Amino acid sequence: MSIIELATAMPKAGGDYYFIGRTFGPLMGTVTRTLSWFSLSLKTAFAVFGLSEILFLITGISPVVWGLSLSLIFVGLNLLGVEGAANLEVVLVTGLIAVMGGFVLFGAPRVDFERFRSFFTSGVNGMLFTAAFVFVSFGGLLQAATIAEEVKDPQKSLRQGTFLTVGVVTLLYMSIVTVTTGLLDGAEFRESLTPVADAAAVILGRPGRIILSTAASLTFITTALAGLMSASRYPLALARDGLLPRFLSVVFRKNGTPGPSIILTGILAAVGLQLNLDLLVKSASAVFMITCILDNIAVIVLRVSRLSNYKSLFIAPFYPWLQALSILLYLFFLADMGREAFAIALGFVSLSLLIFHLYGRHRVQHDFALVHLLKRVVDARWRDEGLEKELLGIITMRDRVPIDSIPCIDLDDSVVLLDDLWRRIAQDLSPNIKVSTETLEYALREREGQYSTALTPFTVIPHVVLDGDTRQFAVSCYRSRAGLRFSESAPAVHALFACAGTDNLRHLHLEALAAIARFVEQPEFENLWEWAEWLKKNCPRRGRY
């Protein structure tokens, strides 16, 4: 419930990383994102482990060999592209639900409730230990928060979707465990590596065992595919934010997959296979629970702070008792799983802090400097007290504005003076924002007259905010080979990004400015820009540049 409240209050891409980063600062945000990466990677390793054991029972080939081979296969499938893996996921999950539903339906009438005697032989503590042990199974159910920004109706969709998903999965888990327990003797259940398949054999004999073994394989395949797909996006985002080496942000152009990030995550999952099953599951659950603890603390901190802009569309009930109870339960689960799992979780936290120390500190300083730079060129009517925080929040997240997809226009010799530039920009943007060319040209001229929009000596971002409620916004990019002078003392400008929009699209306007600023502040920007000029002039058939 705390995650739903945070997601509807801050429907931004990144999920836990965004919530906790905005509450506790970039340090804890980095720790959270890194922990989520480790948790999903270990969950992927758990799925590969389970599938390896099934294949070992069938073929006799060592689970170690199967584990490494399957890791390579799943990495390869993810490298081929998200669309193919996602389509395969839909087919596999549909078949899995159908098979497990049939298992519950046909097995329920044959359940022997006498087998449920002495259900709590290990006491309540044993039950809680088991709950902590399997907690990682629910880790993927809350990942909808990571795409909250893309949800059209977060109040309804996130709340209903999360409750429905958790409810259906919990009901399915309980039904399967109930049927399996009611069909197998205690000793048989305890010693079996494939208890659900053994229970299916009681119902349908050998065909039932084969069907459920296949379903179990489908479960592990879908978990491994989805886990690797989701986990690999975390190092990609960390690298884009400057918190990991830049090569991890490389995306293959052919299929749009983050190749280095997928490979690194696959390696991490393969390393996780070297842990024994108990420690693997405990570690994954422990890491995930630490993130949940931070989510609940974030709700308490945000409510106590009484921030005027914290307006969640869903309010978690029983505050603060629900959050306090959840935190205590998670801490109990962590302590109950033993020292090894807790030590591994703390090791991951320490590694996250090390990553921030090596990479994150410098990136945060750069982002904050960029905030001041942007604040200087932003329209005067937006210079309120909250602008600095708003810009910092936008810059420290992944850019939503696809700068590389904005068409770049070469200015010819007819554009020499600034009046020529304003006229050209107005002609290009006015059809998109539904204002007259004369109105936009006048606004651009007046805006530059107030104070310069030069972001760097090489780049300017002429932008205007227009009155009206039409909710229009447009961006265009220009390249001047000869260079344009915005003042006698300033050097010639070669890169221009023009923005125009109405006041009611303030956030989109600021996001565009932040994305452009981060883009042009890259050390290699000017060299790449001039290289693109040479490439177009000398190799006109090379396509986009």
Q: Which of 398, 346, 284, 241 shows the shortest CA–CA distance to 49?
A: 284
Residue type, 447: R
Quote the crossing angle between the two packed helices 195-204 and 154-183, to the nearest 10°.
70
pLDDT above 60 (res 24): yes
| Pairing assessment for the beta strands 463-466 and 408-410 based on DSSP bridges | unpaired
- Tell me if the bond preceding 320 is cis, omega within 30° of 0: yes
Residues 317-323: what's their mean pLDDT?
86
Residues 4-28: what's their mean pLDDT?
64
**pLDDT tens digits for 91-106?**
777 788 888 888 888 8
pLDDT number for residue 241 = 66
pLDDT above 50 (res 467): yes
pLDDT above 60 (res 369): no
The CA distance from 493 to 514, in Å, is 19
Residues, the chain: 545
pLDDT above 50 (res 318): yes
pLDDT above 50 (res 497): yes
Contact 545, 536 (CB under 8 A): yes
- Rounded percentage of the chain residues whose pLDDT exceeds 70: 71
Our CA angle for 229, 230, 236, nearest 5°, is: 90
pLDDT above 70 (res 413): yes
Residues 305-334: what's their mean pLDDT?
77
According to DSSP, residue 398 is labeled: P
Provide the whole-model pTM.
0.57
pLDDT above 60 (res 368): no
pLDDT above 70 (res 433): yes
**In 3-state terms, what secondary structure has residue 497?**
strand
Find tokens 């992944």 and name the residue.
398
What are the Cα distances from residue 537, in Å, to 300, 497, 532? 59, 21, 9
Residue 288: pLDDT band by 50, 70, 90 thresholds? confident
Better pLDDT: 362 or 337: 337
Better pLDDT: 303 or 441: 441
Residue 207: pLDDT band by 50, 70, 90 thresholds? confident
What is the token pair recorded at 410?
Answer: 């070469």
pLDDT above 80 (res 283): no
pLDDT number for residue 79 = 81
**In 3-state terms, what secondary structure has residue 454?**
strand
- Rounded percentage of the chain residues whose pLDDT exceeds 90: 0
pLDDT number for residue 514 = 79
pLDDT number for residue 167 = 82
pLDDT number for residue 91 = 77
What is the token pair recorded at 226?
Answer: 């989805």
pLDDT number for residue 150 = 46
One-character DSSP codes across 111-180: --GGGGTTTTTTHHHHHHHHHHHTGGGGGGGGGGGGGGGG-S-HHHHHHHHHHHHHHHHHHHHHHHHHHH
**pLDDT tens digits for 518-533?**
777 665 677 667 666 5
Which residues are CB-contacts of 376 (< 8 A; sequence separation ≥ 6)? 451
Question: What's the Rg (C-alpha) of the chain?
Answer: 28
pLDDT above 70 (res 173): yes
Of 196-205, 215-224, 284-293, 367-376, highest mean pLDDT? 196-205
Better pLDDT: 65 or 148: 65
Residue 152: pLDDT band by 50, 70, 90 thresholds? low
Residues 138-147: what's their mean pLDDT?
58
Better pLDDT: 81 or 480: 480
pLDDT number for residue 535 = 45
pLDDT number for residue 511 = 81
Quote the mean pLDDT of the chain: 75
